[in-house]
Homo-oligomer: A and B are copies of this chain.
Protein backbone atom coordinates (compact mmCIF):
# COMPACT_ATOMS: atom_id res chain seq x y z
CA UNK A 1 0.00 0.00 0.00
CA UNK A 2 1.16 3.49 -0.84
CA UNK A 3 1.17 6.24 1.78
CA UNK A 4 0.12 8.74 -0.88
CA UNK A 5 -3.42 10.07 -0.54
CA UNK A 6 -5.48 9.25 -3.65
CA UNK A 7 -8.36 11.74 -3.93
CA UNK A 8 -11.50 10.40 -5.62
CA UNK A 9 -14.83 12.16 -6.15
CA UNK A 10 -18.31 10.61 -6.09
CA UNK A 11 -21.31 11.98 -7.96
CA UNK A 12 -24.06 12.94 -8.43
CA UNK A 13 -25.46 13.80 -4.98
CA UNK A 14 -28.62 11.79 -5.73
CA UNK A 15 -29.29 8.88 -5.36
CA UNK A 16 -27.75 8.84 -1.88
CA UNK A 17 -24.01 8.24 -2.48
CA UNK A 18 -23.29 6.88 1.03
CA UNK A 19 -22.54 3.34 -0.15
CA UNK A 20 -20.19 4.61 -2.85
CA UNK A 21 -18.39 6.98 -0.47
CA UNK A 22 -17.86 3.98 1.79
CA UNK A 23 -16.57 1.96 -1.17
CA UNK A 24 -14.01 4.66 -1.98
CA UNK A 25 -12.71 4.38 1.58
CA UNK A 26 -12.70 0.58 1.46
CA UNK A 27 -10.63 0.74 -1.71
CA UNK A 28 -8.00 2.78 0.09
CA UNK A 29 -8.68 6.20 -1.48
CA UNK A 30 -9.84 9.50 0.05
CA UNK A 31 -13.08 11.25 -0.84
CA UNK A 32 -12.51 14.64 -2.43
CA UNK A 33 -14.23 17.34 -4.46
CA UNK A 34 -14.21 16.86 -8.19
CA UNK A 35 -11.82 19.80 -8.64
CA UNK A 36 -9.03 18.02 -6.73
CA UNK A 37 -9.87 14.44 -7.68
CA UNK A 38 -7.81 11.97 -9.71
CA UNK A 39 -10.88 9.84 -10.41
CA UNK A 40 -14.67 10.14 -10.50
CA UNK A 41 -17.15 7.45 -9.43
CA UNK A 42 -20.38 8.26 -11.26
CA UNK A 43 -23.72 6.79 -10.16
CA UNK A 44 -26.03 8.87 -12.35
CA UNK A 45 -27.07 8.79 -15.97
CA UNK A 46 -25.24 10.30 -18.95
CA UNK A 47 -27.62 13.29 -18.98
CA UNK A 48 -26.34 14.60 -15.64
CA UNK A 49 -22.66 13.93 -16.34
CA UNK A 50 -20.43 17.05 -15.92
CA UNK A 51 -19.82 18.87 -19.18
CA UNK A 52 -16.22 19.50 -18.19
CA UNK A 53 -13.85 17.33 -16.17
CA UNK A 54 -10.82 18.82 -14.39
CA UNK A 55 -7.49 17.95 -16.01
CA UNK A 56 -6.61 16.01 -12.84
CA UNK A 57 -9.18 13.28 -13.63
CA UNK A 58 -7.49 10.11 -14.91
CA UNK A 59 -10.32 7.62 -14.53
CA UNK A 60 -14.13 7.61 -14.56
CA UNK A 61 -16.17 4.65 -13.26
CA UNK A 62 -19.58 4.43 -14.97
CA UNK A 63 -22.54 2.72 -13.25
CA UNK A 64 -23.90 0.57 -16.11
CA UNK A 65 -22.79 -2.79 -17.46
CA UNK A 66 -23.72 -1.79 -21.01
CA UNK A 67 -22.51 1.72 -21.84
CA UNK A 68 -24.08 2.31 -25.28
CA UNK A 69 -25.89 5.40 -23.93
CA UNK A 70 -22.61 6.95 -22.82
CA UNK A 71 -21.16 6.54 -26.29
CA UNK A 72 -24.33 7.95 -27.85
CA UNK A 73 -24.16 10.97 -25.55
CA UNK A 74 -20.59 11.61 -26.74
CA UNK A 75 -19.14 11.49 -23.25
CA UNK A 76 -16.27 9.16 -24.06
CA UNK A 77 -15.35 11.07 -27.21
CA UNK A 78 -15.31 14.32 -25.26
CA UNK A 79 -12.71 13.01 -22.76
CA UNK A 80 -10.17 11.04 -24.80
CA UNK A 81 -7.49 11.48 -22.12
CA UNK A 82 -9.63 9.72 -19.44
CA UNK A 83 -9.87 5.98 -18.85
CA UNK A 84 -13.49 4.85 -18.47
CA UNK A 85 -14.62 1.63 -16.81
CA UNK A 86 -18.09 0.13 -16.88
CA UNK A 87 -19.90 -1.97 -14.27
CA UNK A 88 -19.71 -5.09 -16.50
CA UNK A 89 -19.54 -8.15 -14.27
CA UNK A 90 -20.72 -6.26 -11.18
CA UNK A 91 -24.24 -7.61 -11.39
CA UNK A 92 -23.28 -11.19 -12.19
CA UNK A 93 -23.39 -12.40 -8.59
CA UNK A 94 -27.10 -11.80 -8.10
CA UNK A 95 -27.97 -13.52 -11.36
CA UNK A 96 -25.69 -16.46 -10.54
CA UNK A 97 -27.36 -16.77 -7.11
CA UNK A 98 -30.74 -16.79 -8.84
CA UNK A 99 -29.60 -19.50 -11.27
CA UNK A 100 -28.41 -21.63 -8.35
CA UNK A 101 -31.74 -21.13 -6.60
CA UNK A 102 -33.72 -22.17 -9.67
CA UNK A 103 -31.54 -25.25 -10.26
CA UNK A 104 -31.66 -26.41 -6.64
CA UNK A 105 -35.41 -25.80 -6.39
CA UNK A 106 -35.91 -27.88 -9.51
CA UNK A 107 -33.59 -30.74 -8.62
CA UNK A 108 -35.10 -30.98 -5.12
CA UNK A 109 -38.67 -30.91 -6.48
CA UNK A 110 -39.72 -27.74 -4.69
CA UNK A 111 -42.59 -26.73 -7.03
CA UNK A 112 -44.54 -29.92 -6.27
CA UNK A 113 -43.74 -29.60 -2.56
CA UNK A 114 -45.25 -26.11 -2.56
CA UNK A 115 -48.49 -27.42 -4.04
CA UNK A 116 -48.81 -30.13 -1.39
CA UNK A 117 -51.21 -29.85 1.53
CA UNK A 118 -50.44 -33.27 2.93
CA UNK A 119 -47.26 -35.00 4.23
CA UNK A 120 -46.99 -37.87 1.66
CA UNK A 121 -43.30 -38.45 2.40
CA UNK A 122 -43.08 -41.73 0.45
CA UNK A 123 -44.50 -40.05 -2.66
CA UNK A 124 -41.92 -37.29 -2.49
CA UNK A 125 -38.83 -39.35 -1.62
CA UNK A 126 -38.03 -40.64 -5.14
CA UNK A 127 -38.25 -37.16 -6.66
CA UNK A 128 -35.77 -35.42 -4.36
CA UNK A 129 -32.47 -35.20 -6.23
CA UNK A 130 -29.05 -33.75 -5.56
CA UNK A 131 -26.38 -31.87 -7.49
CA UNK A 132 -23.67 -33.99 -5.83
CA UNK A 133 -21.91 -36.07 -8.45
CA UNK A 134 -24.03 -34.57 -11.23
CA UNK A 135 -22.73 -32.78 -14.31
CA UNK A 136 -23.90 -29.21 -14.80
CA UNK A 137 -23.10 -27.56 -18.13
CA UNK A 138 -22.91 -23.78 -18.09
CA UNK A 139 -23.30 -22.36 -21.58
CA UNK A 140 -21.45 -19.04 -21.52
CA UNK A 141 -18.44 -18.30 -19.37
CA UNK A 142 -18.85 -14.54 -18.97
CA UNK A 143 -19.46 -12.84 -15.65
CA UNK A 144 -22.54 -14.88 -14.73
CA UNK A 145 -21.07 -18.23 -15.71
CA UNK A 146 -17.83 -17.53 -13.89
CA UNK A 147 -19.76 -16.37 -10.81
CA UNK A 148 -21.90 -19.52 -10.84
CA UNK A 149 -19.04 -22.04 -10.95
CA UNK A 150 -17.78 -21.33 -7.40
CA UNK A 151 -21.36 -21.74 -6.11
CA UNK A 152 -21.80 -25.17 -7.71
CA UNK A 153 -18.38 -26.66 -6.95
CA UNK A 154 -18.87 -27.00 -3.16
CA UNK A 155 -22.12 -28.86 -3.82
CA UNK A 156 -20.07 -31.61 -5.47
CA UNK A 157 -21.26 -30.93 -9.03
CA UNK A 158 -18.99 -31.55 -12.00
CA UNK A 159 -18.88 -28.45 -14.18
CA UNK A 160 -18.62 -28.21 -17.95
CA UNK A 161 -18.15 -24.60 -19.06
CA UNK A 162 -18.85 -23.76 -22.68
CA UNK A 163 -17.18 -20.72 -24.21
CA UNK A 164 -16.26 -19.66 -27.73
CA UNK A 165 -12.55 -20.41 -27.64
CA UNK A 166 -12.49 -23.56 -25.54
CA UNK A 167 -9.61 -22.00 -23.57
CA UNK A 168 -9.87 -23.22 -19.95
CA UNK A 169 -12.07 -20.95 -17.86
CA UNK A 170 -10.13 -19.55 -14.91
CA UNK A 171 -10.85 -17.15 -12.09
CA UNK A 172 -11.31 -16.93 -8.34
CA UNK A 173 -13.01 -20.04 -6.98
CA UNK A 174 -12.79 -21.88 -10.31
CA UNK A 175 -10.90 -25.16 -9.83
CA UNK A 176 -8.88 -27.06 -12.45
CA UNK A 177 -11.56 -29.78 -12.38
CA UNK A 178 -13.83 -27.56 -14.52
CA UNK A 179 -13.90 -28.88 -18.07
CA UNK A 180 -14.05 -26.18 -20.75
CA UNK A 181 -15.56 -27.04 -24.12
CA UNK A 182 -15.66 -24.77 -27.18
CA UNK A 183 -19.13 -23.78 -28.37
CA UNK A 184 -18.57 -25.59 -31.67
CA UNK A 185 -18.53 -28.88 -29.72
CA UNK A 186 -21.69 -28.12 -27.75
CA UNK A 187 -23.50 -30.80 -29.77
CA UNK A 188 -21.56 -33.50 -27.94
CA UNK A 189 -22.56 -32.19 -24.53
CA UNK A 190 -26.34 -32.61 -24.44
CA UNK A 191 -26.29 -36.35 -23.93
CA UNK A 192 -23.42 -36.18 -21.41
CA UNK A 193 -24.78 -33.58 -19.02
CA UNK A 194 -27.32 -33.85 -16.23
CA UNK A 195 -28.37 -30.22 -16.19
CA UNK A 196 -27.85 -27.08 -18.29
CA UNK A 197 -27.61 -23.42 -17.31
CA UNK A 198 -27.85 -20.89 -20.15
CA UNK A 199 -25.73 -17.81 -19.43
CA UNK A 200 -24.57 -16.77 -22.91
CA UNK A 201 -25.28 -13.50 -24.72
CA UNK A 202 -28.09 -13.24 -27.24
CA UNK A 203 -26.59 -13.12 -30.72
CA UNK A 204 -27.57 -14.39 -34.14
CA UNK A 205 -25.39 -17.43 -33.43
CA UNK A 206 -27.06 -18.28 -30.13
CA UNK A 207 -30.70 -17.84 -31.22
CA UNK A 208 -32.61 -21.07 -30.46
CA UNK A 209 -29.38 -22.69 -29.35
CA UNK A 210 -31.66 -25.07 -27.42
CA UNK A 211 -34.35 -26.56 -29.64
CA UNK A 212 -36.27 -29.81 -29.99
CA UNK A 213 -33.19 -31.82 -30.98
CA UNK A 214 -31.09 -30.64 -28.04
CA UNK A 215 -33.92 -31.13 -25.54
CA UNK A 216 -34.47 -34.67 -26.83
CA UNK A 217 -30.90 -35.56 -25.97
CA UNK A 218 -31.13 -34.39 -22.37
CA UNK A 219 -32.29 -36.79 -19.62
CA UNK A 220 -35.79 -37.17 -18.13
CA UNK A 221 -34.10 -35.97 -14.92
CA UNK A 222 -32.55 -32.88 -16.52
CA UNK A 223 -33.36 -29.30 -15.57
CA UNK A 224 -32.58 -26.44 -17.90
CA UNK A 225 -32.11 -22.99 -16.40
CA UNK A 226 -32.09 -19.77 -18.44
CA UNK A 227 -30.85 -16.54 -16.87
CA UNK A 228 -29.50 -15.03 -20.10
CA UNK A 229 -32.02 -14.12 -22.79
CA UNK A 230 -35.24 -15.86 -23.81
CA UNK A 231 -34.18 -16.13 -27.45
CA UNK A 232 -31.57 -18.78 -26.67
CA UNK A 233 -34.32 -21.39 -26.17
CA UNK A 234 -37.01 -22.35 -28.67
CA UNK A 235 -40.00 -21.83 -26.38
CA UNK A 236 -42.41 -24.09 -28.30
CA UNK A 237 -39.92 -26.95 -28.22
CA UNK A 238 -39.38 -26.37 -24.51
CA UNK A 239 -43.10 -26.43 -23.77
CA UNK A 240 -43.39 -29.74 -25.64
CA UNK A 241 -40.43 -31.25 -23.74
CA UNK A 242 -41.85 -30.15 -20.41
CA UNK A 243 -45.33 -31.44 -21.22
CA UNK A 244 -44.07 -34.85 -22.39
CA UNK A 245 -41.62 -35.31 -19.53
CA UNK A 246 -38.68 -35.50 -21.95
CA UNK A 247 -36.87 -33.33 -19.39
CA UNK A 248 -37.66 -32.85 -15.70
CA UNK A 249 -38.19 -29.12 -15.74
CA UNK A 250 -37.14 -25.60 -16.62
CA UNK A 251 -36.26 -22.60 -14.47
CA UNK A 252 -36.61 -19.42 -16.50
CA UNK A 253 -35.79 -15.87 -15.48
CA UNK A 254 -36.06 -14.87 -19.15
CA UNK A 255 -38.54 -15.97 -21.78
CA UNK A 256 -39.42 -15.52 -25.43
CA UNK A 257 -41.66 -13.62 -25.75
CA UNK A 258 -40.98 -11.32 -22.81
CA UNK A 259 -42.99 -10.38 -20.87
CA UNK A 260 -44.54 -13.82 -21.04
CA UNK A 261 -48.22 -13.23 -21.90
CA UNK A 262 -51.02 -14.28 -19.57
CA UNK A 263 -52.36 -17.71 -20.45
CA UNK A 264 -49.02 -18.96 -21.83
CA UNK A 265 -48.45 -22.70 -21.17
CA UNK A 266 -45.29 -21.91 -19.16
CA UNK A 267 -47.51 -20.34 -16.48
CA UNK A 268 -49.39 -23.58 -15.91
CA UNK A 269 -46.93 -26.40 -16.60
CA UNK A 270 -46.14 -27.85 -13.16
CA UNK A 271 -42.47 -28.33 -14.02
CA UNK A 272 -41.83 -24.79 -15.26
CA UNK A 273 -40.57 -22.16 -12.83
CA UNK A 274 -40.88 -18.63 -14.21
CA UNK A 275 -39.45 -15.55 -12.54
CA UNK A 276 -40.13 -12.29 -14.44
CA UNK A 277 -36.53 -11.28 -15.28
CA UNK A 278 -36.07 -10.18 -11.68
CA UNK A 279 -32.82 -11.96 -10.84
CA UNK A 280 -31.07 -8.60 -10.53
CA UNK A 281 -33.66 -6.27 -9.00
CA UNK A 282 -32.98 -2.51 -8.66
CA UNK A 283 -32.45 -2.53 -4.89
CA UNK A 284 -29.57 -5.02 -5.20
CA UNK A 285 -27.83 -3.13 -7.98
CA UNK A 286 -26.45 -0.25 -5.90
CA UNK A 287 -24.83 -2.58 -3.35
CA UNK A 288 -23.35 -4.65 -6.18
CA UNK A 289 -22.05 -1.49 -7.86
CA UNK A 290 -20.48 -0.39 -4.56
CA UNK A 291 -18.60 -3.71 -4.32
CA UNK A 292 -17.37 -3.22 -7.87
CA UNK A 293 -16.28 0.35 -7.04
CA UNK A 294 -14.36 -0.76 -3.94
CA UNK A 295 -12.51 -3.37 -6.02
CA UNK A 296 -11.68 -0.90 -8.77
CA UNK A 297 -10.63 1.89 -6.40
CA UNK A 298 -8.26 -0.55 -4.73
CA UNK A 299 -6.80 -1.43 -8.15
CA UNK A 300 -6.47 2.25 -9.04
CA UNK A 301 -4.74 3.07 -5.75
CA UNK A 302 -2.30 0.19 -6.24
CA UNK A 303 -1.71 0.99 -9.91
CA UNK A 304 -3.13 -2.34 -11.08
CA UNK A 305 -5.26 -3.03 -14.16
CA UNK A 306 -8.85 -1.82 -13.72
CA UNK A 307 -11.89 -4.10 -14.02
CA UNK A 308 -14.18 -3.68 -17.03
CA UNK A 309 -12.24 -1.06 -19.01
CA UNK A 310 -14.30 0.50 -21.79
CA UNK A 311 -12.61 0.36 -25.18
CA UNK A 312 -13.78 3.28 -27.34
CA UNK A 313 -12.71 1.35 -30.46
CA UNK A 314 -14.94 -1.66 -29.63
CA UNK A 315 -17.76 0.47 -28.32
CA UNK A 316 -18.15 -1.47 -25.02
A121-B276, A124-B278, A274-B116 as given contacts; A97 in contact with B155, CB under 8 Å: yes
The contact string, 1 if C-beta is below 8 Å from chain B, for chain A 264-277, is 00011000011111
Q: State whether the Cβ of A4 lies closer than 8 Å to any Cβ in chain B.
A: no
Least distance between A180 CB and chain B CB atoms (Å): 20
* Chain B residues within an 8 Å CB radius of A120: 276
Least distance between A242 CB and chain B CB atoms (Å): 15
Q: State whether the Cβ of A117 lies closer than 8 Å to any Cβ in chain B.
A: yes
CB pair A113 B262 closer than 8 Å: no
Least distance between A240 CB and chain B CB atoms (Å): 20
In angstroms, Cα B283 to Cα A284, docked, is 38
Q: State whether the Cβ of A15 lies closer than 8 Å to any Cβ in chain B.
A: no
CB pair A119 B284 closer than 8 Å: no
In angstroms, Cα B115 to Cα A114, docked, is 9
CB pair B156 A113 closer than 8 Å: no
Number of interface residues of A (CB under 8 A): 53
* Chain B residues within an 8 Å CB radius of A53: none
Stretch from A44-52, A129-137, A296-304 at the B interface: A129-137
CB pair A275 B125 closer than 8 Å: no
Least distance between A255 CB and chain B CB atoms (Å): 9
CB pair A114 B111 closer than 8 Å: yes
Q: Which of B104, B114, B173, B273 contacts A104 (CB 8 A)?
A: B104
A119-B276, A121-B276, A275-B124 as given contacts; A97 in contact with B104, CB under 8 Å: yes
Closest-by-CB residue of B relative to A173 is B154
Q: State whether the Cβ of A67 lies closer than 8 Å to any Cβ in chain B.
A: no
* Chain B residues within an 8 Å CB radius of A258: 119
In angstroms, Cα B126 to Cα A56, docked, is 40
CB pair A119 B260 closer than 8 Å: yes
Q: State whether the Cβ of A195 lies closer than 8 Å to any Cβ in chain B.
A: no
In angstroms, Cα B108 to Cα A154, docked, is 21
Closest-by-CB residue of B relative to A275 is B113
* Chain B residues within an 8 Å CB radius of A186: none
Closest-by-CB residue of B relative to A279 is B128
Best-buried of A97, A124, A125, A279 by chain B (most CB within 10 Å)? A97
Q: State whether the Cβ of A189 lies closer than 8 Å to any Cβ in chain B.
A: no
* Chain B residues within an 8 Å CB radius of A104: 97, 100-101, 104-105
**A-B contacts, 9 listed (Cβ < 8 Å):** A94-B132, A97-B131, A98-B108, A98-B128, A105-B105, A117-B268, A126-B283, A128-B275, A128-B279
| New A-B pairs, 15, CB < 8 Å, besides A100-B104, A101-B101, A116-B267 | A93-B156, A101-B104, A104-B105, A113-B273, A113-B276, A116-B276, A117-B262, A120-B276, A124-B276, A125-B278, A125-B281, A125-B283, A128-B278, A128-B281, A151-B155
